[in-house]
Copies of this chain bind each other. A is one copy, B any other.
Amino acid sequence: MNGKTKNHHKKKKKRKHQPGLAPGTPVYTGDETPQRTVITLHSYDSETFNSIKIKDAEALPALIAQPGVHWIEITGFSDTSLIEQVGEHFLLHSLTIEDILDVLQNPKFEIYENYLVLFLRRVTSGTIFNEFKSSQVCLILGPNYVISFQEKSSHIYDTVKRRLRLPKSRLRLAEVDFLFYSLLDVEVDNYFTGIDIVSEEIEHMEAESFTQPQETTLRNIHCIRQQLPLLKRSVRPLQYIANELRHERISLIRPELHIYFRDLYDHIRQIIESVEIFRDQQTGIMEIYLSNINNQMNKIMQFLTIIGTIFLPLTMVTGVYGMNFRFMPELEWRYGYYMVLTFMTAIAIGMLALFKKKNWI
Chain A positions near chain B (C-beta within 8 angstroms): 6, 9-10, 12-14, 16-17, 19-24, 93, 95, 105-106, 108, 110, 156, 158-159, 162-163, 169-171, 181-182, 185-186, 189-190, 192-193, 195-196, 199, 203, 206, 210, 215, 218-219, 222, 225-226, 229-230, 233, 259-260, 262-263, 266-267, 269-270, 273, 276-277, 280-281, 284, 286-288, 290-295, 297-298, 300-302, 304-309, 311-328, 330-337, 340-341, 344, 360
Oligomer copy total: 5
**Structural contact, A323 and B325, CB atoms closer than 8 A:** no
- Bound together, the chains give a CA A48 to CA B48 distance in angstroms of 58
Name the B residues within 8 Å of A159 (CB-CB): 19-21
Rounded to whole Å, the gap between the CB of A19 and the closest CB of chain B is 5
Q: A327: which of B24, B307, B334 is its contact (CB, 8 Å)?
A: B334
Judged by DSSP, the binding face of A is helix
Name the B residues within 8 Å of A314 (CB-CB): 316, 319
**Structural contact, A203 and B6, CB atoms closer than 8 A:** yes
**Structural contact, B17 and A192, CB atoms closer than 8 A:** yes
23 A-B pairs in the complex with CB atoms less than 8 angstroms apart: A13-B192, A13-B195, A17-B192, A20-B163, A23-B185, A106-B266, A108-B266, A210-B219, A286-B287, A294-B294, A300-B302, A301-B301, A301-B305, A304-B305, A307-B312, A312-B315, A315-B315, A325-B330, A325-B337, A326-B331, A326-B332, A326-B336, A327-B334
Which residue on B lies nearest to A196, using beta carbons?
Answer: B13
